[in-house]
Each structure stands twice: as C-alpha cells, then as structure tokens.
Amino acid sequence: MTKLSFIYPFYNNIECVKRRLINWSSFSMDLLKELQFILIDDFSDEVLDESYFNQFNLNLIVARVQTDIMWNQSGAHNLGSHLATSDWLFMMDVDHWIDEQATDYVVKLEKHNESSYFFSRYYMDKNLAAAPNIYLISRSKFWKLGGYDEDFAGCYGYEDKLLHRLIKDHTRSHLGKIIVNVDNAPTRDLNRDRERNRLILNNKIKQYESGSYKNGKVIRFEWKKTVDKSLIT
C-alpha cells in the first residue's frame, strides 16, 4: 500500500494539472512506489481525455464531479479523501507543488496520527505564510473530524477555516520543514462574494463552541471515476 496520497481538486486550470503530472513523473521509481495521486475534476468546462492521463506511469486516480455546484472545493476534497488508500493525506491546491526532495522528506517523516502539518509557501522569490488549505493529516484523523463541511459549497470561501479550527484544536499542529511552491494560477471570472459563507461560518463556530456542531452528509453529488491506474514497475 502507498504511504502518502496527494489530493488535488481542480476546476479548469488544465495547464496546472499538466505541470503537476509532468513533475510527478520525474520522481524516482522508488519514491513513486510510495505515492498515490488523486485529481478531482470539479465539473470543469475544460476536460482532459482519459488517454492523456494514461501516458503517465503513476499510482493515479482521476474522478470527475458530475453535479454542477459552484465552489464545491469542500466536496471535492472529501471525494479525494474517500478515494485515497494511503494512511496520510497531503491536501493541495492545483497551483501548489513540492519537489522530489521535499516529497521524499514527507514520506520518511516520522508522523503521528494525532499530529497535523502545515507548510510555508514560496512564490516569486518570497516566502509566504502557511495556508489553512495546504496541509498533511492522517486519513483516519481527517474523517474523525468529519471532513469538510459541504454546507459551504455553492459560494466562495471559509470552508477551510472551519476544518482548520478543528484540526488546530484536536491535533498537535506543526510547521513543516519543507517549502511548498506556488504557481499562483487562480480560477478567474467566478463570483467571490463571501458574505453567505461568512454567516455560515459564524453560525457553525457558535455550534462548535457550544458542543453541538456535527458535520452532515458528505459527498452530496454525483461523481464518476475516470482513471484508476497503478504504477508499472
């Protein structure tokens, strides 16, 4: 079984997807044996043909969300985590990546189920603060915390902040020693009004602090696995 699953939701940004696949394919065979890569296409307008993915020799799953839900990053992360088979999950945005040396370090890192790891980022010769949506966590702890709350789906923002609070409160959180690189290729021309989700977050934080919060149903949409391939050694 692989030791580390990378979870990469994406909406359009096909060039970033291609760069990630090319980067991963450059890793050594010994390292690739330890890795699983999961790409979740969140109902993109641009669709890569299955044959494109099959040219890469990787432990790779590609799934496509088949229900058109705006800003469904919470659901896409949950689906990726549902499909993962490794004990550890590395959550990433599609325009974020780590090189082979850093990946090898994460695989060999002495990790503990009650720990989580966040990472500084590097973009245009500048170090950036760690982001709440770029982190390493055990698969069992992710689901024990309930995963992402899909009540945030449909509008932009804040779905990471709630889970980040849960992770910080219920794990020993560490700042990882590697740097995550950023291409900075955001999805453009989408409504980024946060007001609806800000109100949802405030309400759920109140529930959480009173001890009444519980995540509801996850993966509330139709989806299809389009690629499921194993590394050929």
Domain ranges of the chain: 4-229
Contact predicate 220/75, CB 8 Å: yes
Instruction: Determine whether domain 4-229 maps to CATH 3.40.50.720.
Output: no
Q: Is the pLDDT of residue 21 over 90?
A: yes
- Which H/E stretch holds residue 168? helix 159-170
Kindly indicate the confidence band of residue 180, based on its pLDDT and cuts at 50, 70 and 90: very high
- Nearest-angstrom CA–CA distance, 162 and 202: 9
The pLDDT of residue 187:
67
184-205 mean pLDDT: 87
> Which of 26, 180, 6, 4 lies closest to 96 in space, CA to CA?
180
Distances (CA, A) of 228 to 14, 41, 151, 162: 19, 14, 29, 31
Contacts of 71 (CB under 8 A, 6+ apart): 152, 153, 154, 155, 156, 157, 190
Q: How many CB atoms lie within 10 A of CB 124?
A: 7
Q: What digits encode the pLDDT tens for the residues 210-222?
A: 999 999 999 999 9
Kindly indicate the confidence band of residue 1, based on its pLDDT and cuts at 50, 70 and 90: confident
- Nearest-angstrom CA–CA distance, 36 and 2: 6
For tokens 């659901």, name the residue: 75
Decide the pairing of beta strands 223-229 and 135-138: unpaired
Q: How many CB atoms lie within 10 A of CB 78?
A: 27
Summary mean pLDDT of the chain: 95
Phi, psi of 147 (to 5 degrees): 70, -165
Q: Is the pLDDT of residue 83 over 80?
A: yes
Q: What digits encode the pLDDT tens for the residues 65-74?
A: 999 999 999 9
> Which of 88, 95, 79 lies closest to 184 in space, CA to CA?
95
